[in-house]
Each structure stands twice: as structure tokens, then as C-alpha cells.
Structure 1
Amino acid sequence: MSTQQRRRVLLAILTVPLVLASACGGGGGESGGGGGDGGTVELTLAHSYTEQQPQHRCGAQVIADEVAAANVGLTIQVFPASQLGGDADRIQSVISGDIDMDIQGASALGAVHEPMSVVDAAYAFDDGEHLARFFASDASKELTDGFAEATGVTVLGAWSAGARHFTANQPIRTPEDLANLRMRFPNSPQFLMNAAALGANATEVAYEELYLALQQGIVDGQENPIVNIASQNLGEVQDYLSLSGHQENSNLILVGPRWNELSPPQQEALSKAVEKAVAQVPGCVEEDEARLLEEWRSSGEFQIVEDVDVAAFRAKVEPYLRANLSPEQLAVYEAIRGSAA
């Protein structure tokens, strides 16, 4: 069964209880009326991470649990591991209302609103706290309002799931070390711009095919946050992990048109649930990263390269971005840098 077919089947199944609840309500009004007629509104929440990763454990699952505990006639059904499609497919499904909520990286969102992609620009943020602070402040309002106007999708919050780092079969300490390596980057305009800015020779490989591509030597290295590197077992096919921290791995929590159908108490409960998840995910990521780095140091699965010349990478990246971002994108970049501590 294809991804599209599986998604249609899952959504059809989820629709049945909503239809039955509406039929039994006897004139209870709109579907988002807060459950006052005894019915419950159920939202679908999709993402691409495994159930073991902090984006699910401390993010999506916390949102679902907190909403259920609020007892406002609202529940959330979580579909992890790209069960409802890949990132590009899911954002279109959120816009159309086929999926109610999603957790997405900013680069994928750039396909439907280009300025959003800048959130994933190399070294745009100083760290994860900077990213969280930006989205919690008025500095992000023009960006998120523009995204909502263009797509009908509301950004409820954002977190960083850790910084992205390089792996390869040789250490990467300076931009010059990337010169002769074929480095896998995700296939999105912002990631490919980042590769050029960093001095990397980008090769596009699907995330699901990354392990095999490294094993077979199709690519020499790649970049990902530590929790993703672990989930893909890349230590089996790569020798060095170079802590470049060249990009914060963004996750935005989105809700589509169903947001406008929810009652004020339901909207408040969902917003508070997202706030709690946004507060918890970075700590969970930090704990996972510390544990994994210690395990890799002890086992020798990775040689950890800590003396990366981050200043040299930053000095190379910023002028490239300023010269190649569109005026609208550059305004977002300026707002992000202006919110740095």
C-alpha cells in the first residue's frame, strides 16, 4: 500500500467516530463547539520521528497527554515515523485539512512560504535557546503571521531538536576539510544554500536511504543532529563526528484549518500543551545528546572531534547568506540575528 493510500485509510478510520459523535449529538452545533453536546473533537498530529526520539517522547506525546488532561472535549491522535507521509506531503495535507496538526522543520515549510526557510539557515541562531526566544517574541510575529496568511496554517510554537553536526570518515575542523568530500544534505533550497555557504559539495540523498548511501560510498559524509545520527545507526558506517553545530534543527508545531473550529477553551488547552512541550523538548534532547556522546566516547563508535573552528565556518557563512538570500528572506535573517542575546 502506498503512503497516499495508507493516509487515506487512516484518515477514513479517524473520521468514523467524529461522524458518529455528530450524529448522536442531536443538533449540537459546530464540530468544534467544545464538546458541549457530549461529543469529543479528535485531531490528528503527524511527524517523522521515531517514538524513541525526544521530538515524540517529550514533544508530540506531551501535547496529546496535556490536552487529554485538560478535559475540554479535545483529544489528539499521534502518528509518528512518517505514517501519514513525508514532510513535503504532510504540509500540503495540513493546508488542505486532511491532517490537523504537524511537527515540521522550517525548510519543508519554505516550499509553501519561502521566508520560513531562513529559520534553517546555517548559524542563523546562536543556540537552541535563541531559537525558542525568537519564536516566543514579537520578533517572529511578521514571519508567523505571513505564513498563516499564505497557507491558513497557524504556528503554535517551535523548539530546536539539537544542533546539526558533520560525520565522515575523516575529521572536519575547517571549511577546507569539506573541499573533497561528497556530503549528503537534504533536498531543499535552504539546506543546499547552507552547503554552499559552508563550502560543502552537496549530494542529495533521501533520509531513508542515508545509511546505505554511506555504506556503499555513494556519499562520504553527512550532517544531522545527534539524536538523528543515533536513530540511523550512522556510527556503524562513519568514523568521525565533528561538532560543528552549524544549524539548529528546527521543529515547528503547526495546526491547520481545524484551529478555527475549536472553542476558546480548546484553543487555550492546545496552546498550553504546546507551551509545555516547547519547554520540555530541549532538556530531553540535551539529556539524550549527553548520554549518546558518552556512549560513543566509551565504545569508540565515533571519534568525537570537538576542536572544530566554528569561527571560521561562521565567517564563511554569513557573507554568503547575505549575498544570496532574497530581500524578503534577508529581512527574516536580520530579525533572527537581531534577537540574539
Structure 2
Amino acid sequence: MSIHFRHKRSVLAASVLMPLVLATACGGDDGSAGGADGGGGEVELTLAHSYTEQQPQHRCGAQVIADEIAAADVGVTVEIYPNSQLGGDADRIQSVVSGDVDIDIQGASALGAVYEPMSVVDAAYAFEDGEHLARFFDSEASDELTQGFQDATGVGVLGAWSAGARQFTANEPIREPADLEGLRMRFPNSEQYLMNARALGADPTEVAYEELYLALQQGIVDGQENPIVNIDAQNLGEVQEYLSMSSHQENSNLVIAGPGVEELSDEQREALDAAVDAAVEQVPQCVEEDEQRILDEWTSGGAFEVVEDVDTDAFRERVEPYLRENFSDEQLAVYEAIRGSAE
């Protein structure tokens, strides 16, 4: 069975969670924890991600999931491992597949490494905004994508949110595609991000996120793109002058979990499902509040000159035909499903 959001099923389907049971209470004469028939024992799940404890993905995402499950009092606890403590994105995906990590928060491009069509979620201007991304994953339009991902990996998608739109920074304003000419723009090292760069008209340069500040400071790259919360976390206002509000990509986060719900009862699965739903609701609001606070600080403190008059229509007109020409048939089907879900 496939897994989606809570309103699309009465209970979490039996193929979505992969509890690495660190603690189980005996249930029944054979000493095993109860399964999906409602006799679940005490279970501890691991939840991993790459974000700091100050970022919205942790505060309003992972922590909300853990708190909501604890409040449900159904015998399930969630232990969070932030800051890539359990490995980088690629390692953690494999850990979910193998059962060493139960739940993970990943970007779609990272998941594209194990199921290529998923990376299309991170295509430039695929979504109108964060609400569109949430609506897509909360509807039947995403069924083929999430089912294909689960069939290929054994891992299900419990929920998805946008962690903010990605914006350009540089030492000169970027208002239209022509402004990217001659600039060495840092993009993440993934096929979809590099395709986005070329579609937008940029000359992409791959630099590790951890090395980005130094690369900008030393002039190895001229600019970069990231969500506002990431730009702030990296203090890029110290080495860049302009923030251009291109909003060219919604920064996706997917909450994923693997198979093996035998250790969870129906009640426990429903509690986990509801906890993820709560996080899906709260993260975008937290991101919006953080972004507004950061923008106010930048505007008043002069960290960036914020460029609002970006010609996003010009970027969109360039991007869509490029993507359609370069996507595989399978990727194009996902793109069409996303665009078809726009209102």
C-alpha cells in the first residue's frame, strides 16, 4: 500500500515506517511487541536531519513531531539527531532503506539520488509557492510519484513542506536572466540544481555548503542561491551586497520513513501520522516568521540591499522550455503533474 497524508487514509499504511526499536516492552505470551492489530509496546524511533537546532526544520518540524507523539501518550518516543549526526544526506537515505534510521527529513534532490523522478520537485519554478507544494503532496496528483518512490526504495513519504523560496545573492543586483551572464554562481552539486542553473541562465560552480562563505569571500564564486534562513545562518551578508528576490525554487523537505510497522499498533501509527501533519502545518509559518524577522534586520542594519523588482516572468519564460526539453519522459510526467496541480 502507498502512504500519503493523514486525510487520505484512516490509518498509516503498513508499509511506511521502519522503527529501529531501541526499547520495546513485552506484549503477549511470546514476548513480542504488538503489531498492527493494536497491541503495540514501547517503541523508540530515530529521527535524523541535517539542520541546526535553530532552524525551522528542527524547531517546528522534527521537534514538533517528537513533542506531538510524546503528548499522544501511545508508547512511542522519538529521539532526534540533528546536524547530520547520523551522516550526510546520501548516507542517511541508505540508513532509512536499511533500517538503521527510522525517519528522516530530506530535500527532494537528495532523494533523487535513489529515485530520479523525485528530484523534479526541486525544479526551478515548478511550484507557484510553498502552498502549491503542500497542496501537491496533499492531493492525488502526487500519488504516482510517491508510490513510485516507495516501490523503488521501500521508503514512504509521510509529509512534505517548503522551507522557503531560494533567492540569489551577489555583489551586483540580479533582476533578469541577462544579469547572470559572466557571474560564477554557486549551486549545490545535484543534477536538478545544476539543470536549474542552466535553465535560469547561470554558469554553475559547485562548492560545498560548508565552504560557501570562504568561497565568496575569496572570490572563487561571485554569488549563490539559498533560502533566506540559510543565507542568514551562513552570515553571507558579510561577503555579499545584494539579495535579489527571485524566488526561483521552493526549498523542499520531505519526511520519509521505511517499511516495518510491525512494532507499531494502529493507535501508534495514527499518532505518528498526526504528529507529522502538525509539523507540515507549522514549518511554513515558522519559516515565514523567521524570514520576515531576518529581512527586517537586514534592511535596518544594511547587511544586504534587497532587490524586490526581479523580473520573475522573464526567468520563468526561459526556464520552462529548457526543462521540458531536457527532462526524461518520466521526469516530464512528474513536472506535468506538478504544474497541473497549480491553481
Which residue is 1:179 aligned to? Answer: 181
| Aligned-residue offset at 1:30 | 3.9
| Aligned-residue offset at 1:281 | 0.6
Residue type matched to 1:71 in 2? D
Matched residue SS, 2:45: strand
| Aligned-residue offset at 1:259 | 3.7
Q: Distance in 1 between matches of 2:278 and 2:171?
A: 39
Which residue among 69, 82, 97 is the counterpart of 1:67?
Answer: 69
Identity percentage over the alignment? 74
Which residue is 1:5 aligned to? Answer: none
- TM-score normalised per structure 2: 0.91
Which residue is 1:77 aligned to? Answer: 79
Residue type matched to 1:27 in 2? D
| Aligned-residue offset at 1:265 | 1.1
| Aligned-residue offset at 1:213 | 1.1
Q: CA RMSD in A?
A: 1.9
Q: Is the 8 A contact 1:35 1:41 kept in 2?
A: no
Which residue is 1:280 aligned to? Answer: 282
Q: Is the 8 A contact 2:164 2:287 kept in 1?
A: yes
Distance 1:72 1:310, change over 3 A: same
Q: Is the 8 A contact 1:35 1:72 kept in 2?
A: no
| Aligned-residue offset at 1:35 | 9.1
1:88-125 superposed Cα distances (whole Å, 9 cap, x missing partner): 11111111111111000000000111110000000000
| Aligned-residue offset at 1:169 | 0.8
Which residue is 2:255 aligned to? Answer: 253
- TM-score normalised per structure 1: 0.91
Q: Distance in 2 between matches of 1:15 and 1:283?
A: 31
Distance 1:260 1:173, change over 3 A: farther
Q: Is the 8 A contact 1:106 1:252 kept in 2?
A: yes
Which residue among 30, 36, 58 is the counterpart of 1:27?
Answer: 30
Residue type matched to 2:94 in 1? Q
Q: How many residues align?
A: 325
Matched residue SS, 1:68: helix
Which residue is 1:321 aligned to? Answer: 323
| Aligned-residue offset at 1:36 | 4.7
Distance 1:26 1:321, change over 3 A: same
Which residue is 2:103 aligned to? Answer: 101
| Aligned-residue offset at 1:28 | 2.8
Q: Is the 8 A contact 2:246 2:310 kept in 1?
A: yes
Name the structure, 1 or 2, with higher relative contact order (CA <8 Å, separation 6+).
2
Q: Distance in 2 between matches of 1:224 and 1:309?
A: 18
Q: Distance in 2 between matches of 1:24 and 1:139?
A: 40
Distance 1:326 1:124, change over 3 A: same
1:131-186 superposed Cα distances (whole Å, 9 cap, x missing partner): 00000000000100110110000100000000000011111111111111111111
| Structure 1: gaps spanning 5 or more residues | 1-13
| Structure 2: gaps spanning 5 or more residues | 1-18
Q: Distance in 2 between matches of 1:204 and 1:271?
A: 37
| Aligned-residue offset at 1:16 | 9.0
Residue type matched to 1:115 in 2? P
Which residue among 287, 300, 303 is the counterpart of 2:302?
Answer: 300
Q: Is the 8 A contact 2:20 2:46 kept in 1?
A: no
Q: Distance in 2 between matches of 1:310 and 1:102?
A: 33
Which residue is 1:195 aligned to? Answer: 197
